[in-house]
Amino acid sequence: MKIAIAQQNYHIGNFEANFENIRKGIQQAKEQGADIVVFGELAVCGYPPRDFLEFEDFINKSLEVIEKIKQESEGIAVVVGAPTINPVPEGKDLFNSAYFIADGKIIHKAHKALLPTYDIFDEYRYFEPVTTFEVVQYQGKKIALTVCEDIWNIGNENPLYKICPMDELIKQEPDFMINISASPFDYNHAKDRIDVIRANVDRYGLPIFYVNNVGAQTEVIFDGGSIVMNDDGKVVQELPYFEEALATFEVEELINSKGKLEKDIEQAKDKMNLIYEGLLLGIRDYFGKLGFKKAILGLSGGVDSAITLVLAAHALGSENVRAVLMPSQYSSDHSIDDSIKLVENLGCSHDIIPIQNPYEAFLKTLAPQFEGTSFNVTEENIQARSRGVILMALSNKFGYILLNTSNKSEAAVGYGTLYGDMAGGLSVIGDLYKTEVYGLCDYINRNGEVIPKHILTKAPSAELRPNQKDSDSLPDYADLDEVLFQYIEQRKGPKEIIAMGFDKALVDRTLRLVNINEYKRYQTPPMLRVSPKAFGMGRRMPIVGKYLS
């Protein structure tokens, strides 16, 4: 028996495009002599569909695609993910299902049992968990068919769920496992995924075909990396990251294979390379799936806007990216020179639009109200908002999407101006701490200077007042980012972080800033997710909470 795994990029709600992608995958698998071809979780409608699942028409369109897939299944079996209507009145109206279709008929439907509700997931909002399990019997083989999370509740000291689907399926003596997934990317997840798959192989002694989606859905990125592992726990094949692929394997070669494979076939997983490739995919799919082509951003001469411009140019093509330099009377000459050099290195178009005139016009307009007051953050914010107005005007006039250039450190502590430098349609580096931004810049420059060296070596500054530096308002980024990581990613409280050796004043101040600026983050554009805990849908905090404030 030959099985093809098809790692594909789906578009939520784009049923025609999704079916055409699946149809091509079926044809390619047939050409490779496959008996079964496997696609990803909720492939027919895209993942995560969220509240589209509450629309009857959306479900009907999904089922119509299943009917079309049935017509393509002559001579081959197709495993594909789609929502299924729950016929029982009690419980949720839908199942998250893996269909097993062959010769024009639905042979089996395996419903998802373990429905995640953590981080970006909220599946129990829509789906009913299944409690009975049955293997698929096809061409003399018994197949344990599961959906994504169903294989993750294994080997945990504190399991999230009360059941383990494979513990039930193994009683029916399957020959191998198939798992269809929509497992989102973060820079640690590739290793975690292989560890979980290997834990299943070690526990059940069966080879596994694991198929993961690829592509970005707004802020959530799926990296692919689909895996075939033999019953000896060796990786026979790991499909590419961040791109579509299809490969076919002989089942018999994976069974009773102990000692036959000398080494795992695993890809190197450098953190910065993964982040770089993930962000490029995130930008491309955000623009491509929305039907946009061109991006605009403000280029300040600082490291954040520099790396955002590089990523946009690499993702969309330099000809589709416009940089706008908006110097004020506080901007240094080298910031302008550095920005122009970067633009020339990339081949992007650019404009220079000074903001002194609009800034002074605002001050003149507000002079009666501001009389008797001194310069403070208000005037700084007016400069940032003047820039925001210019960028949004160009965006509206010429159809650009404005890219936000704020990093995770700034977003965490509220070091940004609402309706100014926090504006945009997409936050490209909003899930990268400042220290990670520098690391990504070094990665970009690994083969030669793309980002001018002076941008990377000068002290970070918003340049909104004379001789301003970020360090005037914030702790050193190396210290700040460590505390933020412990609080945000590791979910440690202040006492735990202080016990690790961090200064109490630093910890108290940092955590307070994170909490009191929640209202700002509610108003930011979606941030491409590359870490295990990003701001946005995966971190849900109350704005008016009192904790640590």
**Residues identified as active-site:** 41, 112, 148
- Eight-state DSSP code of residue 253: G
* CA nearest to 297, candidates 313, 281, 282: 313
Secondary structure of 9-49 as H, E, C letters: ECCCCCHHHHHHHHHHHHHHHHHCCCCEEECCCCCCCCCCC
d(CA 12, CA 6): 18
Please give the Cα distance from 423 to 402 (Å, whole number).
8
CA 17 to centroid of chain Cα atoms: 21
Q: Which pair of structure tokens corresponds to residue 109?
A: 């439907």
Phi then psi dihedrals of residue 528, to 5 deg: -60, 125
**With contact defined as beta carbons under 8 Å apart, do 99 and 82 qualify?**
yes
Instruction: Kindly give, in sequence order, each residue whose CB lies less than 8 Å from that of residue 534, ignoring residues fewer than 6 positions away.
Output: 219, 408, 430, 431, 527
User: In terms of residues, how long is the chain?
Assistant: 549
CA–CA separation, 485 and 497 (whole Å): 10
Neighbouring CB atoms inside 10 A of 522's CB total 11
Residue 244 main-chain phi, psi, to 5 deg = -75, 150
Beta partners for residue 217, in sequence order:
220
